[in-house]
Amino acid sequence: MELVVALSIGVLTAAGTYLVLRLRAFPVIVGLTLLSYATNVFVFSSGRLAVGVPPVLNDSASTYTDPLPQALVLTAIVISFGMTAVLVLIALGAFLESGDDQVNVEDKTTGEGDA
């Protein structure tokens, strides 16, 4: 199970990095979202991957799982959703103003691109 989780974290990170390096606004937003998913899975897996184990220690439980990574991931999901909404609105505003969603836009006065 650890191998599957590690491979999924690696695939999410690689795909997110590839999309962040694109020159369009929408793939950059999707790439940042994939990177936040990879981070969430990594933090969640750091709290020991256990099935059917209670998150708190009581008298009848011999083992338990750490509830702190679960709380951190839940908070990170809410924050990343809000940041994704902000990025979509910024990208939409830039698209409506310039008519193109390309990040590296050519300078209209000199005819040169950003260096």
Q: Which pLDDT score, from 0 to 100, does residue 105 have? A: 57
Q: Which pLDDT score, from 0 to 100, does residue 39 have? A: 94
Tens of pLDDT along the chain (115 residues)? 789 999 999 999 999 999 999 888 899 999 999 999 999 999 988 877 777 777 776 777 677 777 788 889 999 999 999 999 999 999 999 889 888 888 765 666 665 655 5
Neighbours of 33 (CB within 10 A): 18
Instruction: Kindly give, in sequence order, each residue whose CB lies less than 8 Å from that of residue 35, ignoring residues fewer than 6 positions away.
Output: 12, 13, 16, 17, 20
C-alpha distances in Å from residue 23, one per residue of 13, 20, 34, 36, 86 = 18, 8, 17, 20, 19
Residue 24's DSSP bridge partners are 102
Under 8 Å between Cβ of 20 and 32: yes
Token pair belonging to 30: 């999707």
**pTM to 2 decimal places:** 0.77
Q: Which pLDDT score, from 0 to 100, does residue 23 have? A: 84
Q: Which pLDDT score, from 0 to 100, does residue 65 have? A: 75
Which amino acid, one-letter code, is at 28?
V
